[in-house]
Amino acid sequence: MPRARRSRQAQRRGTSRGLTLVAGLVFLYLLLPILIVIPVSFSSGSYLGFPPPGFSLRWYHNFFGRADWLGAASLSLWIGGAVMVLSTALGTPAAIALVRSNFPGRNLLVGFIISPLIAPVIIVAIGLYFFYARLGLVGNPFALVIAHTCLAVPFVVINVSAALQGFDERLEHAAMNLGATPWRTFWQVTFPIIRPGILAGALFAFISSFDELVVALFVSGSTAVTLPRKMWDSIRFEIDPTIAAVSTILIVLASAIFLSAELLRRRSERLRSAAPLPEPSAKEALPDGATVI
């Protein structure tokens, strides 16, 4: 019997070691592409060999020295900024309404609002392309803002909804009982508590637009060339390491945004758990991992 148990333990250790090995290899697979692009971007060679023959910043010079690359980057920045503002303005009140109320068809509505996340982007892209083509708006940056907002708004709705879960509504009741208008109650009570969630949603909305290619491919025409669109054209014609330099910049930007959003998410959880009034029934109603919306 002791021997049998020992062999089982050994077997279990073997299993967990095997599991760790496999998981480690998968992590390597997940990170490898990012870890390769960064050194290639600093290569002094003009082809994509590995390891790079030497260190240089020539591809970054190439990016920052060329008007077409910079123009594309600044267009993407302002489109992303506009999308961020528009989708936050539309998504925040919608999330509040969806979390706080229950009406027939609510779940269907939630499904509709988050469907742009799952629907094949190519379908949305050609639908919008035909739509804008008829209106003569292909190549208009505002058309891209409007289109990207549809794809970005689910991120705002999901993040604001998450921030509202477990929010103690009695804080608002107290404010209104003391004579605050609903508008003032929102800005002085609700907004400060859900602000991390709103900011996280806004950041995700920005990056989703900043990285978006498929819609831009159809809608940007030849006059509203965004950064991903410029990269796409460039990849198809020459794959010199300039794109590796752009990719590195994008990886750094995405990581910064992702880490900020993650910190905001933790802050939002802290804010909620620091709610001053204990409310056992509401806590029970929303166990960890309850549905997001």
Binding to other proteins in span 219-238, by CB under 8 A: 228, 231-232, 235-236
Written as six digits, the tokens of 290 are: 């309850």
Q: Per-residue string for binding with other proteins, 238-257, x by CB under 8 A? A: -x---xx--x--xx--xx-x
3 Cβ neighbours under 8 A, 6+ residues apart: none
CB of 60 to other proteins, least distance (A): 16
Does 34 engage in binding with other proteins (CB under 8 A)?
yes
For the segment 70-89, give every residue that binds other proteins (CB under 8 A): none
Q: Is 48 in the site for other proteins (CB under 8 A)?
A: yes
CB of 118 to other proteins, least distance (A): 6
Q: State in angstroms the smallest separation of the CB of 61 from other proteins.
A: 20
- Name every residue whose Cβ is closer than 8 Å to that of residue 270 and which is 6 or more positions away in sequence: none
* Beta-bridge partner residues of 43: 55
Minimum Å gap between C-beta 199 and other proteins is 12
* Per-position x/- string for 96-135, each x denoting binding to other proteins as judged by CB under 8 A, each - no binding: xxx-xxxx-----xxxxxx-xxxxxxxxx-xxxxxx----
Residues 184-223 that bind other proteins (CB under 8 A): 185-186, 190, 200-201, 204, 207, 211, 213-214, 217-218
Distance CA 42, CA 44 (A): 7
CA dihedral 157, 187, 210, 55 (to 10 degrees): -120
Burial pattern 265-286, b for ≥16 Cβ within 10 A else e, equals bebbbebbeebeeeeeebeeee
